[in-house]
Every structure is written in C-alpha cells, then in structure tokens.
Structure 1
Amino acid sequence: AVLVLQTDLGTSLMFFGLFVVMLYVATDRLSWLIIGAVMFLPPAVFAATQMGHVRTRITCWLDPLSSENYSSCMQISQGLFGLSNGGLTGAGLGEGRPDVVPHAESDFIFASFAEELGMVGAFALLLLYLLLVQRAIRAAVGISDGFGTLLAGGLGFVMALQVFVVVGGVTRVIPLTGLTLPFLAAGGSSLVCNWIIAGILVRLSDAARRPAARQIPGAAGPTAARRESEVPA
C-alpha cells in the first residue's frame, strides 16, 4: 500500500508477484496463482481509472504515435524509433542516438542497446537472462533444502519479472512500469542488489549439484554424515 501511494507501481507489482509465486513454490498448489491473478485485477482497474499517471501510461501503450499523445508519449515513441533504427545488426557500438530517448540510461536502456547492436544483440542479451533464470529454476528444483528452494525460486522470479517488465514496456507488450533492467540500467543500488542476487544464485546452484549428505547407520559424531558418493553401495 505504501508503494502504491508513492506511485511506485513497478516495485509494487514485483513484490506482489513474488509473494504469490513463493506461495505457489511452497505449497505446489496452482490455486494460489489463480487467486493472485483475481486479486490483482481490482487494484489494476482502480489504478487505470483513478490514477492520472497510470492512465497516461496506458494511453501511451495503446497509441504512442498519435499526434494528440505525442508530447506525453515521447519516451516510448523515441524508444520504438530507436528499436527500428537498429535493424538486424544495429548501428554499431557508440553509433546510436540514446540522447533523443528520455531516460535512455535507465528505463529505456534496452532501446539504446538494441539500436546499437540490433536484433541479434538484443536476442543475445535476452538469452543470457534466460540462462540465468534457467539456472535459478534448476537450483530450486535440485536443492534438497526447503529454504534454498524458496530462495532460488524467488530470486529467479525477481530477475525474470524485471526483464519481462522492462523489455515488455519498451516493445509495447505491456504498459511501462518503471523497473530497471538488471546489470545494465543506471543506478548503484539496483546494480548492487542484482549482483548480490547473482552471487546467491551461484551458491545455490553449486549446492544443488552436490550430492546430499546421508547418515551412516551405527556412526556417531562429526563423521556420521558423509556424502552419498562416499558411502559404499
């Protein structure tokens, strides 16, 4: 509620989605996802009808190139022009025009990236994010500790949601929300948080690949727990 009152809808969406996904991972009940989607609809409708900045973002999402909306939708319009200017292989590193896109270093860093490296570079970047999320999911599935499963699943979802919201907003798949693209967008706190997330996921992925410890019958003390690979068949 505090984040909504501060008009930080992107972070509000991230925390709400994380809460619902953690419930699903912990209980393995699909009904939590359905309940979460139903609970999301009334606040979304209220924000779209009662909050002026949300209405503006929806208008820009639906028709950013209209002459009536161009002044308020210049950011997404220039971002779309940058994406189209990049083409397949891009204009080249340092050859783009990020200065014409408002907030190109933060909200619209993906548009600047795609303009200089093209669709090939943009898909390569998305593939790197996909690999990171895939490793998080594998760690969540493979780790034997329940807390580790929740942690890996939650962190992987946060990373995936940030990428989807930012790229989806730039390409008009969804309305803009104001989140930052991990590891690329300007912002020291965001960068530090994302590197911490990556470090935790690396540690969890390593733990998921290690064989689980097993108690040896008749043994006691510190040597009682050995790894399965050390226990004779």
Structure 2
Amino acid sequence: MRSHTVMGKAMGKLSDVLNVDYKFPISGGKESRILMLGLDAAGKTTILYRIKFNETVNTIPTIGFNVETVSPVPNVTLCVWDVGGQQKVRSLWQHYFCETHGLIFVVDSADRNRLWEARDELFRALQNQYMTPGIPVLILANKQDLPGAMKSAEISEVLELKRLSPQHPWHVQETQAHEGEGLTEAFKVLARMVKQFHKELAKQNNSLIQRSAGSSIDATEV
C-alpha cells in the first residue's frame, strides 16, 4: 500500500472542466472519455488508482474531480474522470456529461440503505439533457468483501437496470477494489462496449453526412 494520501494526480475544480479538454484514444484514433460516478464512500477513487497503479492507495473524499489515463487492457487507453459523490456536489455532475463515451457507476454493495438513493442518482444522470444519449453503463458492485454485500443479480434488481435497455448497453461486475478483484474483467467489458458505441456513433455521423449531401444535390438540381 502506498504510504501517501492520493488526492488525484490531476485533480481540479469545476472551472478546470470548462476550460480543459481531456480526450485520449481508445483505438484507431477514436477518443474516449469515461465518467465515473456514484454516491460518496462507494470506492470510486480507490478503484481509479487501483487500476492506475495496481496498488491500494490512501484516499480522502473527493470534492472536485480526479482524472487519469489508464490502460486496463493492452492497446486500450481510457481517460477516466472520477467525480465527487457527496450530496452537496452532485448538482455539478451535469457539467461533466458532455462528450462522455461511457459511464461507470460505483455502488457500495453492503450499504443496502442507500442503494435506492444510488438508483435515483443513476437515472437522474442518464436522463439529464446534457448526458450523451445511449452511452454504455458499467455498474461496479463494490465492497464485495464486506458482510451482507449484495451480489450482481440483487444489485441489478434493486437498481432496476432493466429500465436501461435497449437505450443503454449495461453490465454489472462484482468488485473488491482494495484487492483489485473484478476490476480487470470489468474494464475489459467496458472497453468492448465503448468500442461498439464509437462504431454506432460513426454510423450515425456517416448517415447524417450522406443525408446532408443528398439534400445539397437535390437543392442544386432544383
């Protein structure tokens, strides 16, 4: 375990989000921006730095955001934004939604009393007008080592994840961030979903270009 406290290699305030554009390729020159949300104390920052350093690091509650480039699988690089989950800062989440290509939502599987709150925040984020339509969603059912932790099937039911289909592809992965259990598998699935999302975006863009070109030709002929 690292002895120092991690506040984020690249930590910032909302003003930084509005002035700096962080984008990194996932494959073939495509750009991928991953947003990680969840209630406070769900383990988001621990997950981020476990993936980044493959070690458990000491963390403190995130007030602004942490942003890191990570390569969880070969030939895949993601830019992950870990945003604070305290209730007083959730109203600022929407400022991070634009141009997001994947959403990681982390829940404390052992905190049954707050799962309904987590569900409401998840759907509030996905239904926000600034959120990228149709983005893939990865649910990390974290803290599986704690007594009473719910498994993926129960998490899916409580969070009502069937409501996401067919608009959003989604996957639930049981994780234990301190030991890194389940994280590699989770990010492999995320990478596949994001690649497919990029393909769908490319198809939509090509379709729009073709329609625009057709409209221009029709107008010229008239």
The TM tier, using the shorter chain, reads under 0.3
- Normalized per residue, the structure richer in helix is 1
Per the normalisation by structure 2, the TM-score is 0.24
The structure that has the greater radius of gyration is: 1
Per the normalisation by structure 1, the TM-score is 0.23
Q: Which structure ranks higher in relative contact order (CA pairs < 8 Å, sequence separation ≥ 6)?
A: 2
